[in-house]
Structure 1
């Protein structure tokens, strides 16, 4: 009889453990990189070594279509809240233009992922770039994060180079206290170090966690560790023309680029590699070697986080999402941004250089245009999701997801209730749709029942089904593209389809009114910010208009 009861106890214990594991809320890690192009990781066609991201892609799911808001702060506003950026208060950037939709920091009505998940029993951790308001009242610890390490502005050096005289020291914040990067430290490493520290400390609790890991790389300035740069010496001697051909071929092999899709035409502003002098080639290839090294270090960092998850025995129940905040940045030095103020070679602590349009044209393969533009090259991101036992390994789908879809996705998976009010304030309703049906193989793309919309500094777009209208400030003329066959946006078919243009344009007007969007001509700042993320032609157009 004792043996029977012992056996029964073992069975019941095993059953209770199985039920507990099945019902356990998943941990969530949201990884965002900065200014990285659509084709810059291995699973999207790149030659850059990203084995850890490739592992997540091979064991998880990739989207061919995932959209951001084309530039840093507006993207992060939608990411953190599940709202269109205007609704969250960051319609233009992290500067105040005097209207609620353009106040430059998150409003209280737009609840952050950290606020909602914390209220639903999660530990909330962040390491990296915030860029959602520099006033201390808008810092991460004040918006729901229990642990924060990083910087709150839009960019940072990767080394403390105050001794060089022309650039300030790297000032960081850890849980509301300012500190500086130590000599010899590299920012990508310290962001990772602190994320791992937070995970290990959180492991002492019985709660699930949400970690937002926001890397600054590969955003300018081009600064990398010597051992990482060395790995890419000579790899870019072939130049941007040949490299783009190689990436296109790899994208076709991977299924990222479908055989029926048209690709973006060659950027006429980018010179032919073979027409450059020897000295010019040395300068340009050095830029891409450092850019690749910066992404390589990000991938190494993700590998360290994966090892930590395994060490903590949390790898089987952790959702990992990887995205970029916008496409690679175009623009040429001296056109659209200040001349370089380098005090050292490209890649060194004294470097203040950036990738520029010639290589960004490759990074955004096979798409058109760059950061700050609403063509596909500006608003498209790789998307990888990994959750063992729930996401089928090696999945590749159209997806058509957007930043606003991440909040409802996380809340559904976490079993989290989104409150109607928070601290006495009525919360904005979520704008997106859960990605769970796509992630679990029940759908190949999001069924949202309405278009996706964009507006930033007068640049506008609407995506509905296979159709997309887009216009670039100061022009108010809509272009129309059939993205099903022409993801590269090579043929404007607006003249042939006026009814489609009128329909989507009417949708845009309704959305703009509901969301608080104001005609950019009426609110543009007297001294517009310089964006090193647009083509030289669009930069010139904005300067002429303003």
Structure 2
């Protein structure tokens, strides 16, 4: 009798263990989306940088990187596509977070374009956002009203990082309540503090969670902690010319850049490093030292998130994706833009400096141009996905991914169904494709449909190897073969008129479908883009 009882208990134990394992494997993953602000393609170690980013690099080398992943070149339209899975015009943010009087340019997310928060809540997720919103200033359109259970951060496009600047409070919102950053706090740290508290409190619910961690670093103004700045003293003494060459070589060694491709031609507005005096070089170095320090602090906070996941035993069932909202910020100095007056050294709470196009040309290595432009330097982002035991470590995948693909990817991982109707409204169907198989299997992403861009009169199309691009106010189209020339050094439009004609036709069909207007007819008196702070 005793032997039978032992045998029965053993069988029960095995059966329960198998059931537990099956239940665990069927548990939807936690999802963390980390977005940084105004960071170039090459600014993290895993994409070629000399800046210390060991925690982000850990995600890359233990996960998968994409060689080609596109954003919308500027803050608000990028966030509109990211959060909803729509092209920005379809979501209501075709220009920026300002209202130009048309539904496609209303400056806030429309209700037909559902957010991560709204969709994932229907799948049983807790939904959190800590950091930058920038897709609707009116409180009717803040995160808590668009599906996020908890929100901490700022609503607009930029914020100071320190709370102790004289007479300049850092205005924030926490769950619909206006607050300010406390004296002595540094915003990158506090954004992470709140995110970690959300995760800890969420433990009680036994639900999976989605966290959108939207850092504003290294966006203007250049303000960093002294101990982080000190780490980079003299690190940029070689200047942007030499460091750009070094980064490009490292990118080739990492397998991210084809050695047969030429690096983008130097921008005519970027002076040679050797043309500056010693004192001028010291001043320029300081800017990049602070910029690097801001990214370093982001990386330290990514490390804090990883440590918390491990402590809570959530690390093995969490998907983390890391991207940037656009290329590095450049193109200002030649436009004579009025600069804000500094009340302290570069990097301090009184600093209102920004990177400028010279260092941005380094950040965007090996590509051409900057934020707000549809050449590769403006719209190319690093893309890293990490999911232990699910994503093969050290993978690098080809293919043309875009922001519109992240919503369907997350819903695919979560088992969430995107509704055709929501709150009695017919929803806009998702525009992108799920990257789940690409991430889990490391296969190349082959898109059936092209990707399109328009903002502020700038236009572009990417289809297969071809990229068509036009920069406002010019109406002329340029054509590049990105399979052989991702640096966009040779315009092939004259040799391939039929390709240009076909891509223009596809662009016009897309523009009509997404209610894109002729920019000359709707442009505001004060343009947001190159020449205006944003």
Please confirm whether the aligned pair reaches a TM-score higher than 0.5, indicating the same fold: yes
With the shorter chain as reference, the TM-score category is: over 0.9
List structure 1 segments (4+ residues) > 6 angstroms apart after TM superposition. none
SS at match of 1:399: coil
- Summarize the alignment of residues 457-472 of structure 1 with structure 2, pairs less than 5 Å apart: 457-472=456-471
Question: What are the Cα deviations for residues 170-215 of structure 1, in whole angstroms up to 9, with x where unaligned?
Answer: 0111101111111110000000000000000011111000000000
User: Counterpart in 2 of 1:396?
Assistant: 396
- Summarize the alignment of residues 34-49 of structure 1 with structure 2, pairs less than 5 Å apart: 34-49=37-52
Contact 1:370 1:533 in 2 (8 A): no
1:325: Cα distance to partner? 0.2
CA distance in 1, matches of 2:178, 2:102: 30
User: Counterpart in 1 of 2:205?
Assistant: 205
CA distance in 2, matches of 1:530, 1:82: 23
User: Counterpart in 2 of 1:130?
Assistant: 133
CA distance in 2, matches of 1:378, 1:54: 22
User: Counterpart in 2 of 1:10?
Assistant: 13
- Summarize the alignment of residues 441-480 of structure 1 with structure 2, pairs less than 5 Å apart: 441=441, 443-445=443-445, 447-480=446-479
User: Counterpart in 1 of 2:440?
Assistant: 440
Q: What is the Cα-based RMSD across aligned positions, in Å?
A: 1.2
CA distance in 2, matches of 1:147, 1:239: 43
TM-score computed with the length of structure 2 as normaliser: 0.98
CA distance in 2, matches of 1:14, 1:378: 51
Residues 1:69 and 1:492: Cα distance change in structure 2 (over 3 Å):
same
Q: 2:150 aligns with which of 141, 147, 150?
A: 147
Unpaired segments of 5 or more residues in structure 2?
Answer: none
User: Counterpart in 1 of 2:342?
Assistant: 342
1:260: Cα distance to partner? 1.9
CA distance in 1, matches of 2:220, 2:17: 53
- Summarize the alignment of residues 176-195 of structure 1 with structure 2, pairs less than 5 Å apart: 176-195=176-195
CA distance in 1, matches of 2:115, 2:297: 29
Q: 1:71 aligns with which of 57, 61, 74?
A: 74
1:261: Cα distance to partner? 1.7
1:531: Cα distance to partner? 3.5
Question: What are the Cα deviations for residues 318-348 of structure 1, in whole angstroms up to 9, with x where unaligned?
Answer: 0000000000011234726322311000000
CA distance in 2, matches of 1:335, 1:349: 26
CA distance in 2, matches of 1:106, 1:349: 32
User: Counterpart in 2 of 1:156?
Assistant: 159
Contact 2:223 2:290 in 1 (8 A): yes
Matched, 1:33 2:20: no
User: Counterpart in 1 of 2:196?
Assistant: 196
Question: What are the Cα deviations for residues 391-430 of structure 1, in whole angstroms up to 9, with x where unaligned?
Answer: 1110011131100000110111111011111111110000
User: Counterpart in 2 of 1:351?
Assistant: 351
1:442: Cα distance to partner? 5.8
1:486: Cα distance to partner? 0.2
CA distance in 1, matches of 2:315, 2:399: 25
User: Counterpart in 1 of 2:318?
Assistant: 318
1:303: Cα distance to partner? 0.2
CA distance in 2, matches of 1:147, 1:419: 23
CA distance in 2, matches of 1:369, 1:144: 36
CA distance in 1, matches of 2:531, 2:349: 20
Contact 1:270 1:357 in 2 (8 A): yes
CA distance in 1, matches of 2:340, 2:154: 23
1:134: Cα distance to partner? 0.7
Q: Single out whichever of 393-402 and 377-386 deviates more from structure 2.
A: 393-402
Q: 1:51 aligns with which of 31, 50, 54?
A: 54
Unpaired segments of 5 or more residues in structure 1?
Answer: 535-546
CA distance in 2, matches of 1:15, 1:261: 52
User: Counterpart in 1 of 2:115?
Assistant: 112
Residues 1:531 and 1:137: Cα distance change in structure 2 (over 3 Å):
farther
1:22: Cα distance to partner? 1.1
- Summarize the alignment of residues 164-183 of structure 1 with structure 2, pairs less than 5 Å apart: 165=167, 168-183=168-183
Question: What are the Cα deviations for residues 500-533 of structure 1, in whole angstroms up to 9, with x where unaligned?
Answer: 0001000000000001100101100122235458
